[in-house]
Amino acid sequence: MIKSRLCEMVGIKYPIIQAGMGPFSNNNLGVAAANAGALGLLSTSGLADKEGQPFVYDAWIKTAEADPNDDMATAMEKVLKRTYRLTKDKGGVFGINVMVAAEMVPQAKIIIETAIRVREENPDMKKHFKVIFTSAGDPVPWRDTIKNAGFTWMHVVPSVKGAQRCKKAGVDVIVASGHEGGFHTSWEPVHSMILLPAVVEAVSDDKTLVCGAGGFCDGKTLAAALVLGADGAQMGTRFLATQESDFHQIWKEAVVEAGDRGTLVARGFVGPARWVKNKRSEEHAVNTLKKSPGVFLGTPDDYSTLDMALINYEIESIKAVYDGNKEKGMMAAGECAQRINDMPKVADMVQGIVKEAESILQGVQKKYLA
């Protein structure tokens, strides 16, 4: 049976992390992934802007057994209790994905403090709600809050330098995210084939685990991550296109329908982002080249200089998806969308990935070593 140090550290069956993916909730997806033996992560970015994007908030709330009038902390408390209730009999393990980008620090603080309080008040939850996964920002300021609360702390990085900062902060599992990945990617593109072994070499040790993200979507790529020295793989786009995924049907279908060279990079809320290629995203890429060329040059810009028309275009395009309008919609996904051709149930998919990876790893010696 396939297993790794990640399985031991967080008590999951398989070395697979279902990525946190907003702006839709992962409230149903996270339960399905956890109960299938992977680590299920709930995305929280859909809670960040109740006033500015009420359609995002309302859709998130619907899958949380929460109320549209709930504030962020109340909604968070309800979803954590719901996820615990739905995973506890099956031994599922879950966590939350929290974006800590500079623009989102106040919201991140509320989410993380609520998570810590709710777990303290419900001690049995500790057997299931084990992980806080931070992303898109500096990990260091969050060290004491997360570590003192006893969570396993994961953080995602796009570079060796970022991984070294995580190690200094005491992050338990560093996730190296290559440029193939869906939605926000780094300003300076480095792909998984280079990034993952480089991060393993730089920071992996007895205490610090490393996982890959970006391009991992089946048994072959999971086996590759392990062979490159990782302790597991995080998969986003693959989990998005599943029966239980909370994403809108047209977003899921866009992943399944994306073919050869089916994605492109253009401006996202907090930097470069990878989208399924369609007329709308191609137009956004052309506008990005004019208004935020740093996306293609590797030079960061921010809201103080950026023409906000670009961000508004993105918000309109995401709203269109919530309205089911395929023509005006933009759907984020990773390059591996071109390798995804079905929309399975999560448990079947996880089993398929694990079996394929096991058979590849068992065959490696026979096939390649004399």
Ligand X SMILES: Cc1cc2nc3c(=O)[nH]c(=O)nc-3n(C[C@H](O)[C@H](O)[C@H](O)COP(=O)(O)O)c2cc1C
| Residues engaged in binding ligand X (CB under 6 A) | 19-22, 43, 45, 97, 99, 135-136, 156, 177, 180-183, 213-216, 234-238, 240, 332-334, 336
Q: Output DSSP code: residue 280.
A: H
Q: Which of 116, 120, 118, 170 is nearest to 141 (CA)?
A: 170
**With helix as H, strand as E and coil as C, how does 124-143 read?**
HHHHCEEEEEEECCCCHHHH
**Cβ neighbours of residue 132 under 8 Å, at least 6 residues apart?**
95, 96, 98, 112, 115, 146, 149, 151, 152, 153, 154
Question: Minimum CB separation from ligand X for residue 57, in Å?
Answer: 14
Q: Which is nearer to ligand X, 129 or 247 (CB)?
A: 247
Comparing every residue's Cβ against ligand X, the nearest one is: 236
Q: Which is nearer to ligand X, 4 or 221 (CB)?
A: 221
Confirm if 53 and 87 have CB atoms less than 8 A apart. Answer: no
Question: Minimum CB separation from ligand X for residue 217, in Å?
Answer: 6
Question: Minimum CB separation from ligand X for residue 122, in Å?
Answer: 25
Q: Which is nearer to ligand X, 14 or 183 (CB)?
A: 183
Question: Minimum CB separation from ligand X for residue 335, in Å?
Answer: 6
Q: Which is nearer to ligand X, 130 or 238 (CB)?
A: 238
Q: Which two tokens stand for residue 177?
A: 């995210």
CA distance 272 to 300: 9
Q: Which is nearer to ligand X, 123 or 259 (CB)?
A: 259
Q: Which is nearer to ligand X, 9 or 175 (CB)?
A: 175
Q: How many CB atoms lie within 10 A of CB 90?
A: 12
Q: Which is nearer to ligand X, 114 or 237 (CB)?
A: 237
Question: Minimum CB separation from ligand X for residue 132, in Å?
Answer: 12
CA distance 109 to 199: 28
Question: Minimum CB separation from ligand X for residue 26, in Å?
Answer: 9
Question: Minimum CB separation from ligand X for residue 336, in Å?
Answer: 5
Determine the angle formed by the axes of helices 72-87 and 105-121, rounding to 10 degrees: 50
Q: Which is nearer to ligand X, 88 or 105 (CB)?
A: 105
Collapsing DSSP to helix, strand or coil, 283 comes out as helix
Place of tokens 């106040």: 106
Question: Minimum CB separation from ligand X for residue 134, in Å?
Answer: 8
**Cβ neighbours of residue 152 under 8 Å, at least 6 residues apart?**
9, 10, 95, 130, 131, 132, 172, 173
